[in-house]
Structure 1
Amino acid sequence: MHCLSYFVKLRPNVRHFSAISSYNIFDSKTKRLQREVAIDLDDNQKYDYLKDEIAYRVVDRVYDIKRHFPLVVDFGSQKGLIAKNLSNETYDTLICCDSSHKCLQRIEGLDGIETISVVIDEEEGLPFRDNSIDLVISSLSMHWINDLPKAFAQIHRCLKSDGVFIGAMFGGQTLFELRSSLQMAEQEREGGFGPHVSPFITAQDMGSLLTRSGYNLITVDTDEIKVNYPTIFELMYDLKGMAENNALVNRKSLLRRDSLLASAAIYQTLYGNTDGSIAATFQIFYFIGWKPDPSHRKPLERGSAQFSLKDIPNLDKILKDTENKS
């Protein structure tokens, strides 16, 4: 087995890239501990239903690119669901990066394919040399990063020319039912409400971040998954099992019992199904961004168009006249 430095030369001073945001929204240490608690559950695999499905859809986008990637990085690998879905025909070496050593120990690689685990601080980015990675994949982990522009820029730096960044993040409509139910219940019972559901990115912000970080040929598409639960309590229990429970810096230390019961009633009234269950919405943004390369197709210069949009209704006639003239 080759050592990691054979493929990627680590920078001698990773701390050179560390930068603490002026204001942190998320508590990174709490999130790491939540993931480690979740992975220690005896039945932890039963909570993988959502993340496993999203990981499969992310990898499916990798398969759409008919190309072999010698060196692939799974950014925020957690339990290794990306590694489980990848084919050994896609890559030669997979580097799984996560802040939790315990999570990385649970990852099972493919037979005959080298899988390397690297403990990183997601807030500091990837500690790899410039232009060294062929493909970076991230599935449902980047929404807990405080400094997303920096993370996107760091991944761009590590990618080779014509390298690609493919990932998925929760969108702004995720768990809007839970958020509004908790807010209304606390407003009624306590005269105010605290943050219980983390803020999520919008599609416009996603495209803007990728563009500002230097990617081109960008695509962003949206998916929405609705999952039915018996009550709000099973939903919150499953979120904890997924390690997607609250990790906001200014989160409330506890949720009062009367407020929780009131939120369950509000949720059932506003978002309940006819069979008595409740629906929870998970909005997913899938994105693809390429590191620029001379081989990429470039947009035409302004004013080079031969036809106007107003000519579309008469396009057949215009093309026929053009052919006759030629």
Structure 2
Amino acid sequence: MIRRLVLTDVRSHADLALTPEPGFVILTGPNGAGKTNVLEAVSLLAPGRGLRRAALSEIARRNGPGGFGVAATLGDATELATGTLAAAPERRVVRFNGAAGAANTLAQWLSVLWLTPAMDRLFVEPASERRRFLDRLTLALSPGHALETTRYEAAMRARNKLLAEPAPDRDWLSALEAQMAQHGAAIAAARSETVATLSERLAQETGGDFPRAHLVLEGWAGDAAALLHALASGRGRDAAAGRTLTGPHRADLAVRHVDKQIPAAQASTGEQKALLLGIVLAHAALVGERRGQPPILLLDEVAAHLDPARRAALFDRLAGHAQVWMTGTEPALFAAIDDRATRIALG
């Protein structure tokens, strides 16, 4: 969990220091007070581009010096920091206990999951959005997943560029495809394990206030040899398309509403939100069991559109988690949470 969080020139916050306790951390205030900005800062302590997927230069405070910083002290006294310098606004800097490190290795120290209002349409969005969601779930269980994904995508970009040349170097193509096969197989295996394990856990849940979901990984699945063969035999097709048409980057996460036996995309808006919440809660419990370190949960405006009964059920389910950050415009939304919560008013 995070014991101390310091934001410097992050979005609307020139200088903000928070000392959250374990359990619920509730941020309230009017629209524009910077509540989501705080959650975004915490999300940057994990690999990737954070909950808004914003360019680094957009995170730096407008009219500020140009860079930004997010620093956190964890419960075991580990110091994590990330941000940018004014001279290089799109180059991310990461430090562990003062020493320079790589963003992909942040997952070894901290697991962070989030839900935002923009994710309410996850099941009807393009497959790429569900892949990102699945990769965050996978990363929390397999910290090395970020590095495998980064290397796969880098090799794929290089292969696509090479295929666009009139006479691409076949040996270089083979080398890039070997890299894609190695990392692609690792990505597929980690995703498959996450989906299978999470589906099994969801199937064991009975009753409750959140509908049960069943998860299936669709699209390409195979080992390194199968992917290598597919890439080598598909060069002409991929060159004509201008992109790689085979591999784990084409996978999709299919979700069904178990009780109604319908695809999640056909459920009502409220049911889709409840399905998503149920998946995240089950996954958080799974991460805690597997890693001995439950993830930090960031829930942006999660209570606003839930009825009182489901809101109370959500708080009950979250009560055992190490640290849950939630935002809302009205403190009354969180009245059912006892006094042990850290309550922070912004704006």
TM-score if structure 2 supplies the norm length?
A: 0.26
Structure that is richer in helix per residue: 2
Which structure is larger by alpha-carbon Rg, 1 or 2? 1
TM-score if structure 1 supplies the norm length?
A: 0.27
Relative contact order (alpha carbons < 8 A, sep ≥ 6): 1 or 2 greater?
A: 2
